Chain A
Amino acid sequence: MLAKRVIPCLDVRDGRVVKGRKFQGLQDVADPVSLARFYNSAGADELVFYDITASHEGRKLFAETLTAVASQVFIPLTVGGGINDLSDFDRVLKCGADKVSVNSGAIADPGIIGRAAKKYGDQCVVLSIDAKRAGGRFEVYAKGGRVPTGLDAVEWAKRGEAEGAGEIVLNSIDTDGVRRGFDLEMLAAVCDAVHIPVIASGGAGCAEDFVTLFREIPGADAGLAAGIFHYGEVDIRDLKRRLRAAGIAVRL
């Protein structure tokens, strides 16, 4: 039986992790390699890196950072941020990424999902969706949650699956940063509509939120969070012990 996954997400700008702060026993919390090693030894099942730079120089630094992480941390690595065409897939896969997450790039050109899936395999293509409640449905937003697209999140998820995406990261703009739990309503809607793994993102404020997520939404395969892990508020191993105690299969 597959284990439910716990995934810390690291935003990287100019070779440094943004947000990283309070950690005992870590010399440099903003160094992606140190932080990745820390999370790996703490029991993270996977790491997600978002490249939040846009400059050419930033991209180069990100590639170097990723290569350094991938040569020392041996769990699956997903990379997103600035993925617009196949050459972007190639660029990050060469540096040791296992999966590539595409968001605004797929909204602009949905065909990129299929082209990448054909070239690198479905398992490699992650469709990342930022969505928010609007008029009784969930609307997809582009450009880091700034631009409404008119797309319906459930329909967009189904389209992504049909195009060949191997996995979906569903980030709720409504619950993001609020820390009162994952957006169970939105997750239920998307999990019911697709057969590929769905990663819940946005809203985790404590360990119990992960227990609730996996109990209430059996179709959710993983929970992703940034702040609560980076600030040291939730220890991944403690969190997984609680999940196991609640009867949820996890890798410990």
Chain B
Amino acid sequence: MIAVVDYGVGNLFSLVSSLRFIGAHAEVTADARALSRADGIILPGVGAFADARAKLRSSGAEEALLREVAGGKPFLGICLGMQMLFERSYEYGVHEGLGLIPGEVVPFSLPADMKVPHMGWNGLNILRPCPLLAYVSNGEYVYYVHSYHATGCGAYTAAVSEYGIPVTGVVARGNVYGTQFHPEKSGETGLNILRAFKDITEGRL
């Protein structure tokens, strides 16, 4: 079972539908026992960083989630869920992240003719082998919607997309993975990334 952390942020319909579509058993939950029972955990999220972080804390899921991740359980953060993996974010102030991967989240600073949010289909430039990208080829397109991006992730960056700068697209550190884009909105490429995560949770990747 893959637990999708429910902490009152964003609409989980597409994510849960896409997991079911690839044959995964998905459970939307914030319950510590369910997170402990799960083979893998996905942290979704849209909206503002500080609000999401506060909601995650008050949901009661954060402690259980960190315990499971420390125990080696496969963990995937998506979009804002990925941004929360880092040490801190500079979205409207300075806010502490979960600190699972080195790096911080900063606003885009781009030439005036480039639009923010970075929204749409962009190609993945895969920098190093990563189990989450086992079924994806270099150059495949994924769907992004975001105004802040992760930086300073060093060798934990597995793939980037060019948008004035190399935008951190995929990060991986041990059992912890993150995608800035939305795999549940990225067509077959996105489904293949979720398939890889499912296979990771089943010990097949």
Contacts and interface: CB of A to CB of B under 8 A. Distances in A.
Given A74-B191, A93-B11, A96-B14, A197 B119 contact: yes
Interface stretch (A1-9, A23-31, A52-60, A127-135): A1-9
B187 A40 contact: yes
Contacts of A94: 11, 13
Interface string B159-187: 00011000000000000000000001111
Interface of A: 1-3, 5, 40, 45, 70-72, 74-76, 93-96, 98, 121-123, 166-167, 195-197, 221, 251
Contacts of A45: 121
B3 to A, nearest CB: 20
Q: Is the interface of B mostly helix, strand, loop or mixed?
A: mixed
Contact of B121 (A5, A74, A93, A167): A5
A75 B115 contact: no
Contacts of A2: 118-122, 163
Given A1-B122, A1-B163, A76-B143, A123 B117 contact: yes
Contact of B115 (A74, A76, A195): A195
B115 A197 contact: yes
Contact of B17 (A96, A195, A251): A96
B21 interface: yes
B118 to A, nearest CB: 8
Contacts, number: 72
Contacts of A72: 17, 21
Given A5-B120, A197-B120, A123 B115 contact: no
Interface in B16-73: 17-18, 20-21, 46-47
B81 to A, nearest CB: 16
B86 interface: no
B141 A251 contact: yes
Residue among B162, B163, B184, B187 with max Cβ neighbours from chain A (10 Å):
B187
